[in-house]
Amino acid sequence: MKLTVNNQLVGLADWRQVWLSPLKIELGTQAKQRVAESADLVTDVLRSGKQVYGVNTGFGQLAQVRVSADDLARLQENLVRSHAVGVGKNLPDAVVRLVMTMKIVALAEGFSGVRLELIEALCALVNHDIYPCIPEKGSVGASGDLAPLAHLAGVLIGVGEARVKGTVVPAQVALSEAGIEPLALAPKEGLALLNGTQVSTALALAAVFRCENVLSAAIAAGAMSSDAVQGSDTPFDKRIQNVRGHGGQIAVAGVLRQLMKGSEIRASHIACERVQDPYSVRCQPQVVGACLDVLRHVSKVLQTEANAVTDNPLVFADSNAVLSGGNFHAEPVALAADYLALAIAEIGSLAERRIALLIDAHLSGLPAFLVKEGGLNSGFMMAQVTAAALTSENKTYAHPASVDSIPTSANQEDHVSMATFAARRLHDMLDNVAHVIAIELLAAAQGVEFHRPKRSSADIEAIISMIREVSPAFDEDRSLSADIARVAELIGAGRFCRYSESVLPSMNL
């Protein structure tokens, strides 16, 4: 992928591509001009002798301390060094690539007062697949993602570490690989790099893309389970969805209808006496559709934030103004992440209930625990317990992070968003749900195969074939742990998105 940043809106599909694979990035002519004008205004302000926060003052509660002209470069470097206090595992390269690209897009808008040289150094790192080592913990999501972004900024000045082709090397070695020298930061540049919501937003946006993979697999698994238990597709009739009117519900029902179209199993029991199916089958459009609506809403919020200017103060060259505000406060990201957490938990909750249905011979009409010679074999008994454990764990993760503000910087920053954790915990939840749905896919494939020689729909049979490539049929007891992991990898690789691509935000925004 090649991305020319020229003050245009970067779309969700492009952000997904940035997450998926390395890219080449450059600035367009208009962006370069706006950056130069913004940097010139900072120089003019300094010459005028005006006091401007973060340019010739201290930071946080020390904002009233004036810094002499001789110490301005040291001020910015000290800011980067002192704020690089993150802890924990390093963020994945895919997330760091999103962070760096978002920072380039934000700085290139021309409201941050940085030099073109700084942005081009960031571009050089991205273009050479060099990713600063950014610890995942240490940000409260206000005044920007200060600690993690300090680790990013540190590499530009030759401090810290970076990954080059998967190997961790000192920052100066990484810069040499990119063909650049360590930067001497100009006034405002350290602050412009550290202020911003890019880490929170990148984590949340990566969760959106992973959630698309998970939701697609959940719809496929739900269709398979419905056929396995000889459920009715009448609840998916478009007339039912249309009179309620929710877009997500209408979309999910349409995908379910397509997935089940032409099933011999469904045709074999159209005239059966069963009146209604359990909610986990019958209400899939209403539940998963509502989750899709959440995903669509969150995607729009994050697309806006990914293109936003979120540092402080902001430099408006067209009106010769430098204004201090609070765009660094990541509340929009925190609330969006908390909202998405609820949807992720519900996707897993419904899938777990269908697994319980599949293994219950009294409700499913299938052999108990989906295995021949039950008693001698325990079948999917414990797989459902694992699904229940993961589903219950996600209930705790779903507690909102955004309501847990804690004051920092001697009460100067007295309300924070906790957006970074709000977004980061989504990935633990998605890991859990991917495994829950993997278990359902295995169980549903087993259930459909008990109806042989009748066949399911062409799509469901294709899905079963995909599953059987990594997990053979369950004829007698064996450990399913490796099978679950392999099917979860299929989910993570987006192998089920083809069945739902018409409804996924990153393919339609």
Q: Whose CA is closest to 137, among 128, 127, 129, 147?
A: 147
Handedness of CA 134, 135, 137, 138 (dihedral sign): negative
Instruction: Quote the tokens at residue 438.
Output: 């993997």
Q: Whose CA is closest to 37, among 354, 322, 260, 248?
A: 322
Share of the chain above pLDDT 90, in %: 89
Task: Identify the three-state secondary structure at position 210.
Answer: helix
C-alpha span between 509 and 217 (Å, rounded): 20
Instruction: Quote the tokens at residue 183.
Output: 């930067």
pLDDT at 193: 97
Instruction: Quote the tokens at residue 496.
Output: 């089920």
pLDDT at 51: 85
Parts of the chain with a pLDDT under 50? none
Computed on alpha carbons and rounded to an integer, the radius of gyration of the chain in Å comes to: 26
Extended strands (E) in 110-227: 130-132, 135-137, 161-164, 167-170
Considering all CA atoms of the chain, what is the largest pairwise distance in Å, rounded to the nearest integer?
A: 87
Q: Which of 53, 279, 339, 397 is catalytic?
A: 53
pLDDT at 412: 77
C-alpha span between 3 and 26 (Å, rounded): 7
Per-residue model confidence as pLDDT tens digits over 58-72:
776 677 788 888 888
Long-range pairs for 268-275: beta carbons < 8 A, 24 or more residues apart: 268/230, 268/454, 269/230, 272/230, 274/230, 274/232
53 is catalytic: yes
75: CB partners within 8 A, 6+ apart? 56, 58, 67, 187, 190
**Can the peptide bond before residue 313 be classed as cis, meaning omega within 30 degrees of 0?**
yes
Phi and psi (nearest 5°) for 351? -65, -40
Provide the β-strand partners of residue 164.
130, 167
pLDDT at 508: 77
Instruction: Quote the tokens at residue 216.
Output: 């697609």
Tokens 């993150």 belong to residue: 86
CB-based contact 477:377 (threshold 8 Å): yes
Q: Whose CA is closest to 201, among 24, 415, 10?
A: 10
Provide the β-strand partners of residue 322.
315
Question: Torsion-angle region of residue 400: left (phi > 0), alpha (psi -120 to 50) or beta?
Answer: beta
